[in-house]
Structure 1
């Protein structure tokens, strides 16, 4: 593709959104690939009971609209011409709304929700093998289509909208695209669809047999789009004061994989946020899960036009959210920064003395334990707050190491490169611990906090002609700080063995 939009004297940019679980940010990704005019709003997350996690779809929409307007205002004042809108979103968070009013009918069911985990266990024996071969993932602990079917069956307002033919289902990307286009687009992008648990990897189609088994009405299925699909159309000009093509819509981790350079097979990234996700590109053929390696999922990395670029992923649901819980909910520490400062003064032993398992929403890897609980153990009268802080960061780093090991084993090859990003990756102490446990150099991206925002903008910019390819813009970005391993292989092996003993022995 030629760079049709490069003209002397014009400063061009993509208005890009990163709608995460706990907040929404927007910024302008200029033709240099850098981000300016950032705006951010927090979003509440509700926990009605120990298994349910919910959000208000209207709060997500209003916060997203606010940050877009703020970023646009900054761009206009600075003379930057916005040529497209790009969206990256949290994945597998499901919503139901009424087409007539445009209003949600129930709270959104967030991707961390486990209210139907026990019910879904009943499908594993019959369906896991089939789904692993077709979808690249097992039944799992959540199923947005099953959640929607239960809402239709149990909530009168949802049932009424279904009978009236006005019920709309989608994930966060569906909701925002529907809103931005004035209801013209009702679709899920490939990278978001892969996380719903009913996407046929090789066919770019819904697994209608499995969806029917979950009780979901097939006539309510959203369209399936590529991540840079022309079908999204243009934004309603009344919303932003300008009509823009909606040029890319991606799941947040997939967008981060692009921004952090995971473009060729074996190149990987780790994003530390609410949860921590490890992804690796596997090329144009899916690398399917391997029996005995739990929690590693095959998925579309992104679909560009008619071509799918596949990836593998493993994740821990509660890492950043575990830090927030320790600080905000329990009040054990003033901030995650304090945890890092305290932990920096405690040396690593050959194995954990105090230990922390951040399984606030179960364990996926190295073994599938959906009902596992978080635990802090090994405490004595000599334990200090600094020891606990070190145990917390060690527990996060070990959990992430489990993910990295699982993805590498599934690829049947080591990572060719590992770049990291996300807010939690800003802790130098955690990064040093992580490099030692992984045994590989880790490069923290120079602008790691905006990786998802940049990645979806890069895909949009290639479609709109700002760059000739993803490689062009990604490789032009500044390199980040590298953390080298400092421990010995024997010490690393002892620490990992001690961690496996903790997982095997603590009560789930």
Structure 2
């Protein structure tokens, strides 16, 4: 039976903005997408223009609604899902950004993180669930204030507001009335105390960050705010704001402890639902707030490799070995094996469990017989090896053996990648028919927030698998391949020596 409800989802990624309209059956009715500019003012820096993101978001919302023939007043609710840990700073009175957004991939605070680690590393990891690293929004915020005296003065005077991309969009959608951050996004800033369930004031005090900068922490699903009709054309409830990996975990139906998914995007993320008690990793994995609904928090463990899909983009745009990223599947299948070639995609350092921001990308094993297909295959295999680096730790620390998982994200359309993932992880991989799991998760949570669906299972009734990949590699081959990968990773570490 059809459901006339309409839900607008804003899916704000690292490279582009997408607006989608869903109906009450979870079906996408329309979508609109634009890439936005990636700024690299120095080798270790990645920035976005918050104003450009907002302008493109506003335009794509208009496009998506027009394509579905939906008026703003007819929307049941709005859901937001976003790239995490990107730092946005704006003026409370004008509502305008006062600095470029520092993207989660940025490495400018690597030296700061290394200097603080001896005194604060263990403490912040135990309280925030994240290894002290450049991805911390709190460090990026500290850098902005340390490098601009006027910003520091205005922050002390209470004139500035900090937030992640969800905060920025809520701020703009509400005409500046609301300064909030969802629990899942707060937990990724490296500034939120998971055990005390509040901002980690001791750490922020040590960084010299005024608490007035920080937004209110709200549920990921429920009434967060209402849009300003002068901005959006109607008063519409915003009933979901959730970090992208958490949205994908929910959208994949991973609502029980032990359920796991991988998202293959700019980076590759592996997340497992660990239930209602936080599990603080002892081996460099990250503790996330999967989502918070009705004041009840569900937690997860996460491992991520920051550069995987973007390594394939580098083969296309940087090395110019590809015309389209999708070519990698045909190229990889055109060679019998990797011919001893390994690609460690540490273009911006290594994530869990190594957490080495000084590591750099490495191609090793090249011989006169190396062909383009071997390089493409090595890039795809490197994505999977990056996951295998932390999956066993995840199973051990969560107390749940991961023998099956779901996969989403743009690169999940690559059959070679998912089959190799099944082979190397010894796990059955399910690819859903709808690979827009991130946007779908935000739609589900927004719909639950206004009663479009009564419980999570209602959201998932229309979902199914597009393909299932089962392991076919023998254990000896798997172990031999992985041993070689580990040797390659060791050679990539510590390459960018601090001056």
Deviates more, 1:35-44 or 1:132-141: 132-141
Instruction: Find the partner of 1:334 among 323, 330, 354.
Output: 323
Confirm whether residue 444 of structure 1 aligns to residue 468 of structure 2.
no
Structure 1 residue 341: deviation in Å?
A: 1.2
CA offsets 1:475-499 (integer angstroms, 9 cap, x no match)? 4412231011111122111111221
The Cα of 1:10 is off from its aligned counterpart by 6.0
**1:187 CA displacement:** 1.0
2:273 match = 281
Deviation (angstroms), 1:82: 1.8
Segments of 5+ residues of structure 2 without an aligned counterpart are none
TM-score, normalising length: structure 1: 0.93
Q: Which moved further from structure 2: 55-64 or 148-157? A: 148-157
Q: Is the 8 A contact 2:73 2:236 kept in 1?
A: no
Task: Quote the Cα distance in structure 2 between the aligned partners of 1:124 and 1:152.
Answer: 20
Residue 272 (structure 1) aligned to one of 261, 264, 267: 264
> 2:272–2:302: 8 Å Cα contact kept in structure 1?
yes
- Mapped to 2, the partners of 1:55 and 1:257 lie a distance apart of 26
Query: Aligned ranges for residues 122-201 of structure 1 at < 5 Å?
Result: 122-159=115-152, 161-162=154-155, 165-201=158-194
Name the CA distance, whole Å, in 1 between partners of 2:129 and 2:469.
32
Aligned pairs, number: 494
Mapped to 2, the partners of 1:400 and 1:44 lie a distance apart of 29
SS at match of 2:444: helix
CA, structure 1 residues 470+120, in 2 after alignment: closer, same or farther (shift >3 Å)?
A: same
Q: 1: CA distance between counterparts of 2:76 and 2:29?
A: 15
Q: Give the alignment's TM-score, normalised by structure 2.
A: 0.95
- RMSD of aligned alpha carbons: 1.9
Tell me what 2:366 maps to: 379
The equivalent residue for 1:321 is 310
For residue 401 of structure 1, the aligned residue among 388, 398, 402 is: 388
Alignment of 1:42 onto 2:28:
no
Q: 1:9, CA displacement in angstroms?
A: 8.1
The answer to whether residue 484 in structure 2 is matched with residue 498 in structure 1 is yes
CA–CA distance in structure 2, aligned partners of residues 447 and 461 of structure 1: 18
64-73 vs 397-406, greater mean Cα deviation: 397-406
Unaligned runs of 5+ in 1: 1-7
**In 1, Cα distance between equivalents of 2:208 and 2:246:** 29
| SS, match of residue 226 in structure 2 | coil
Q: Is the 8 A contact 1:236 1:243 kept in 2?
A: yes
1:115 corresponds to: 108
Contact 2:72/2:232 (8 A) holds in 1: no
CA contact (8 A) 1:358 1:395 kept: yes
Query: Structure 2 residue aligned with 1:478, among 456, 464, 476?
Result: 464
1:204 aligns with 2:193: no
Deviation at 1:358, TM superposition (A): 0.3
- Is 396-405 or 279-288 further displaced after alignment? 396-405
In 1, the alpha carbon distance for the partners of 2:371 and 2:79 equals 47
1:33 Cα deviation after fit: 1.3
After TM superposition, where is structure 1 displaced by more than 6 Å over at least 4 residues in a row?
Answer: none
Give the Cα separation in 2 of the matches to 1:469 and 1:417. 24
Higher mean C-alpha displacement, 131-140 vs 271-280 = 131-140
SS in structure 1 at match of 2:460:
helix
SS in 1 for 2:375: helix
Residue from 292, 299, 305 that aligns with 2:294: 305
Partner of 1:5: none
Secondary structure, aligned partner of 1:311: strand
Counterpart CA distance in 1 for 2:73 and 2:466 is 26
Q: Once structures 1 and 2 are overlaid, which stretch shifts more, 112-121 or 195-204?
A: 195-204
Residues of 2 paired with 1:32 and 1:81: CA distance?
16
Contact 2:240 2:445 in 1 (8 A): yes
8 Å contact kept, 2:76–2:237:
yes
Q: Is 1:368 matched with 2:355?
A: yes
Mapped contact 1:274–1:321 kept (Cα < 8 A) = yes
Looking at structure 2, the residues matched to 157 and 312 of structure 1 have their Cα atoms a distance apart, in angstroms, of 39
Instruction: Note if 1:240 corresponds to 2:254.
Output: no
For the Cα contact (< 8 Å) 1:281–1:301, is it kept in 2? yes
Flag the 1:152–1:288 CA change in 2: closer, same or farther, 3 A: closer
Question: Residue 63 of structure 2 corresponds to which residue in structure 1?
Answer: 70
CA shift in 2, pair 1:221/1:480, >3 Å: same
Distance 1:129 1:153, change over 3 A: closer
Deviation of the 1:239 alpha carbon: 2.3
